[in-house]
Amino acid sequence: PLTEDDFNDFGLPKVLKPHKHKLFGLTIDPERLHEIRTGRMAESKYASSRQCRYELNEVEAIYRQERIPFLNTTRLSVEEISTRIMAEMHLTRNRG
């Protein structure tokens, strides 16, 4: 995952750059992320609505800047997510 430290570098972390062509971003609605984090650490900055919105805005900006495809997964099943990623990345299923 990309973290707040990555946002300070204004772009994709160096370790990921050689693999950029393989990357696919996943996002979530800020409200849903807030709900999940509140269950873990209710009174923390990490769980605040403001922090969730900030992080999602920053990561989506990186995805756009680097032309990394991404998908909001808030209302999708695992099967739907994998199907969309495979279609977007032009991957085929190995039935071996």
Q: What integer pLDDT is reported at residue 10 of this predicted model?
A: 75
Q: Phi and psi for 26 in degrees, rounded to 5?
A: -120, 135
Angle 29-34-39 from CA coordinates, rounded to 5°: 135
What's the whole-model pTM score? 0.87
Residue ranges covered by each domain of the chain: 24-96
Residue 36 has pLDDT above 80, yes or no: yes
Q: What integer pLDDT is reported at residue 68 of this predicted model?
A: 97
41-91 pLDDT, tens per residue? 999 999 999 999 999 999 999 999 999 999 999 999 999 999 999 999 999
The owner of tokens 């099967």 is 79
Secondary structure element (H or E) that encloses residue 71, with its range: strand 70-72
Distance of CA 79 to the CA centre of its chain: 17
What does the pLDDT average to over 27-37? Answer: 98
* Spatial separation of the C-alpha atoms in residues 34 and 54, rounded to whole Å: 11
Residue 5 has pLDDT above 90, yes or no: no
Q: Are 1 and 15 in contact (CB under 8 A)?
A: no
Q: Are 56 and 72 in contact (CB under 8 A)?
A: no
Q: What integer pLDDT is reported at residue 22 of this predicted model?
A: 97
